[in-house]
Amino acid sequence: MSTARIIRNPLKRKNKMRLTAEDIVIDTTVTICLIFIFIVTAYPFYYCLVLSFNHGLDSQRGGIYFFPRVLTLANYSSFFTDEKWLNAFLISISRTVLGTAATVLFTVVVAYGLSYPNLKFRKLYMTLIIFSMYFNGGLIPYYITLRSLGLLNNYLVYIIPSAFNLFFTLISISFFQALPYELRESAMLDGASDIKILLRIILPVSTPLLATMAIFVAVGQWNAWFDSAFFVKQQELKTLGYRLVEVINQAQMPISQESAQRASAAARVTPLSVRVAAMMVAVVPILCVYPFLQRFFISGLTIGSVKG
């Protein structure tokens, strides 16, 4: 007992670091700066959240800083009962789910094939991929291509053009090549096909890759508005991101006549209050999904940087 205490105490003393006055000043300065940056970046979001739960007409009086003065759910009720906003919300959800699934599927399949060094014409494929990352035809040739494929004013314009991601293809190739080749070789000796090897051996150990790819693609799909603005004219196919950009660039939110009459009769919502509610609806889904994928996201940031 006494011997153990004698041995442990010196270790504890060595592990304890004494902070000098300079260290305390630096740590305090850094902490204050981080707290200030956090407040500056987080408070605007919190302020919009407070306004979204506050009475619309009451918000115009000002003086709301930390908590809703007149708590109400009328802003969100107006958002979800407005057919235009609700339809855009559903379009964004569907394109995010289907677009993310398609991008991950096609990118992983192509990358898995290109990860084989003995693949025929592999150098040609890799050259085309790298060339396409740095050069493109521009907006007009891209528009003409979409028109020739019949994708203009088509829901598939949100899915098909983004179904193959060049950047994540290179990342996936590097990741698959870093995996021990013995995994594939043992499965081949057992008579497994390439599809079975991919589904049963490669993908189960590629969770960080898939999660990182999925979260980046999903965020891009959810926030996308450019394709909806230039390639889609039907109002029924407009996305939530486009609606938000639309109302931000206008002095008043372009709501339907029925919604305007309903808001005027209720005297509880304003264009600004519904706008901030729409912003919260657009941001919250990503914030809810990210914590579940955070551990895969962090481990996936270094994918492809070191080869085994």
- Is the pLDDT assigned to residue 101 strictly greater than 90? yes
Of the candidates 281, 268, 277, the one whose C-alpha atom is nearest the C-alpha of residue 55 is 268
**Tokens of residue 62, six digits:** 């000002």
Got the DSSP string for 51-106? HHTB-HHHHTT---SSS-SSB-SHHHHHHHHSHHHHHHHHHHHHHHHHHHHHHHHH
Highest mean pLDDT among 103-107, 173-177, 260-264, 276-280: 103-107
Cβ burial, residue 9 (10 Å; 0-12/13-18/19+) = exposed
Q: Is residue 71 part of a domain?
A: no
CA distance 99 to 6: 63
Predicted pLDDT at 96: 92
Q: Is residue 43 part of a domain?
A: no
Place of tokens 């009475």: 55
Q: Is residue 306 part of a domain?
A: no
Of the candidates 241, 237, 244, the one whose C-alpha atom is nearest the C-alpha of residue 221 is 241
Q: Is residue 90 part of a domain?
A: yes
Q: Is residue 277 part of a domain?
A: yes
Tell me: the pLDDT tens digits for 26-81? 889 999 999 999 999 888 888 888 888 887 777 777 778 888 888 888 888 877 87
Q: Which alpha helices (DSSP H) does 135-231 contain, by range?
A: 139-148, 166-178, 181-189, 194-197, 207-223, 226-230
CA distance 276 to 262: 18
Q: Residue 249's Cα: distance from chain center in Å?
A: 23
Place of tokens 């890759």: 209
Q: Which domain holds residue 158?
A: 76-300
CA distance 132 to 113: 19
Of the candidates 232, 269, 226, the one whose C-alpha atom is nearest the C-alpha of residue 157 is 232
Predicted pLDDT at 36: 94
Write the CATH number for 281. 1.10.3720.10
Tell me: the pLDDT tens digits for 255-296? 455 555 554 444 567 777 777 888 888 887 777 777 776 666
Q: Is residue 53 part of a domain?
A: no
Predicted pLDDT at 265: 44
- The answer for residues whose C-beta is within 8 angstroms of residue 69's C-beta and 6 or more apart is 54, 55, 58, 63
Q: Is residue 37 part of a domain?
A: no
Q: Is residue 44 part of a domain?
A: no
Number of domains in the chain: 1
- The answer for residues whose C-beta is within 8 angstroms of residue 219's C-beta and 6 or more apart is 286
Residue 158, SS3? helix
